[in-house]
Amino acid sequence: MNPEKPQGRGQQADPENRLERREQILNSAQACFDARGFHATSTLEISKAAGISSAGLYHYFSSKDELIGALIERELKRVLSKMDALKHADDFFAELEDFYYQISTEELKGFSLGLRIESFALATRSKPIAKIVDKVNTTFLHELVQVVENAQRLNQVDPTLDPKLTAAAIMNITWGFFTQMCRPENTRADYLFVTMNLLKAGLSTKQQKA
């Protein structure tokens, strides 16, 4: 209203601006959570990191839990975007390995592995978070089904396998990999190798009868 105070890029009720700010806050929050975990990070820390007042946070998120939920959901989108490559992969197993590799080195710039596990743990205790985590998992699983079907079309994954169960198998082993990668004593190379071996042995089209 006051032309003398345009405050940066405008701060009016511009709805786009609002979303942008929200995103910034999520970024700051993610950095804090990554560093110290959900529980150990206070809303004050987050607001400071985001450059707002602690009350300001509540204009964008109605509670800390909501913020965490939003973060988990956003993270899903980020991961899903990486799945297109998988869905249209020519070499399914190679692409999958690359996917694991990226996630475990956090090249995805998303959640740290620790936060991923923490989300799961949190879901055990908080209904709202549980809802979101479940939704994320369902979506992810659903995508995996498509990935599997594509790989079956290419005859890289055994076409006789049930796509849903196969997706579940991948999900299973993927989370196992995440879990193990959380402990720094575990060597990534080894676990990546082992993980892929298991998947190849279990899923790939058997060629012995040719």
Partner DNA sequence: GATGAATGAGGCTTCATTCAT
Partner DNA sequence: CATGAATGAAGCCTCATTCAT
One-letter amino acid for residue 152 of the chain: Q
What DSSP state is assigned to residue 11? -
**88 Cβ contact partners less than 8 Å away, ≥ 6 residues apart:** 150
Number of chain positions touching its own copies (CB under 8 A): 47
Contact indicator for 101, 192 with CB cutoff of 8 Å: yes
Of the residues 3, 160, 208, 210, which one makes contact with its own copies according to CB under 8 A: 208
Q: Nearer Cβ to its own copies, position 84 or 134? A: 134
Of the residues 20, 23, 37, 42, which one makes contact with DNA according to CB under 7 A: 42
Q: Which of 110, 118, 120, 104 is nearest to 78 (CA)?
A: 110
Contact indicator for 69, 132 with CB cutoff of 8 Å: yes
CB of 11 to its own copies, least distance (A): 9
d(CA 116, CA 182): 10
Of DNA, its own copies, none, which one does residue 3 interact with (CB within 5 to 8 Å by kind)? none
Considering the rule CB under 7 A, would residue 10 count as an interface residue with DNA? yes
Residues binding its own copies (CB under 8 A): 36-37, 39-40, 114, 117-118, 120-121, 123-125, 130, 133-134, 137-138, 165-166, 168-169, 171-180, 182-183, 185-186, 190-191, 193-195, 197-199, 201-203, 208
